[in-house]
Structure 1
Amino acid sequence: METKMMISAVISGAVLIVGALEMIYQIYHITVIDATARGLKHPKLWGFLAMNGNHTSGLLLYLIGRRNYPLIDLSPDSQSEIERRKKAAGIGLIFLVIGAIGLVISIMLF
């Protein structure tokens, strides 16, 4: 019985990690597209800062810093890619939540 619970915990942890990585990856790309459209210098650096940081401080720093830069050229292709990546980030969030719930249930049943 304990083996099944351990396998359940490992699977839930893997789903949680996949969801978190997917969400981080999509946030990075959304930030790079947005920073490029706003004409910010070093958009990949802004994407890197937005995807990591303790308690999403990098994302907050980007959101505060971008207020001074209006959108210059956000093409319809870029806009549709941002929308697609938002949906993918939402799916990643769903995976993260399902994995976390499964992990908590698995740990509670040990």
Structure 2
Amino acid sequence: MAKLPDSVLTNINTLQRQIVECIDATTATEFRILEQQGETSETLPELEELQNIRERLLSPYFRLHTLLLKAAESQPVASNDMLNLLDMSIETGKATVAASIASLQEIQRNWND
């Protein structure tokens, strides 16, 4: 594997964990709403939004995973383009997580979850 800066590896691992935790919280919220309220005309918009949140989170997760694997195949060092792409993907992922958490919290407040 091309040697990546420790900060990049730490950021990727931390971000992927945050994404997984957010997906878990989103799925748990969806389950609770379905269990407590069912699928009704009132819950349907939020249930759809919860599905959208999960889908939005998958993109940065897989992008980081793919880029990390490509970096692992790079020898002897990762190119500047690869490092820049990783940095941009990390920042985009962080923004996606922040927006997803805000949307999730709003849905939870709406349903007192």
Structure 1 length as normaliser, TM-score? 0.53
1:54-73 matches, within 5 Å, as none
Question: What is the deviation of 1:89?
Answer: 0.8
Distance 2:64 2:9 in 1: 9
SS at match of 1:10: helix
Structure 2 gaps, min length 5:
78-113
Number of equivalences: 74
Matched, 1:17 2:8: no
Distance 1:106 1:18, change over 3 A: farther
Distance 1:78 1:107 in 2: 44
Structure 1 gaps, min length 5:
39-73
Distance 1:12 1:108, change over 3 A: farther
Matched, 1:78 2:26: no
Find runs of 4+ consecutive structure 1 residues off by over 6 angstroms: none
Q: CA RMSD in A?
A: 2.4
Percent sequence identity over aligned pairs: 7
Contact 1:30-1:82 at 8 Å conserved across structures: yes
SS at match of 2:43: helix
Which position in structure 1 is the counterpart of 2:91? Answer: none
Distance 1:15 1:106, change over 3 A: farther
Distance 1:14 1:101, change over 3 A: farther
Distance 1:25 1:32, change over 3 A: same
Question: What is the deviation of 1:12?
Answer: 1.6
Which position in structure 2 is the counterpart of 1:95? Answer: 60
SS at match of 1:76: coil
Distance 2:57 2:47 in 1: 15
Instruction: Give the counterpart letter for 1:21 in structure 2.
Output: E
Instruction: Give the counterpart letter for 1:28 in structure 2.
Output: A
Instruction: Give the counterpart letter for 2:6 in structure 1.
Output: M
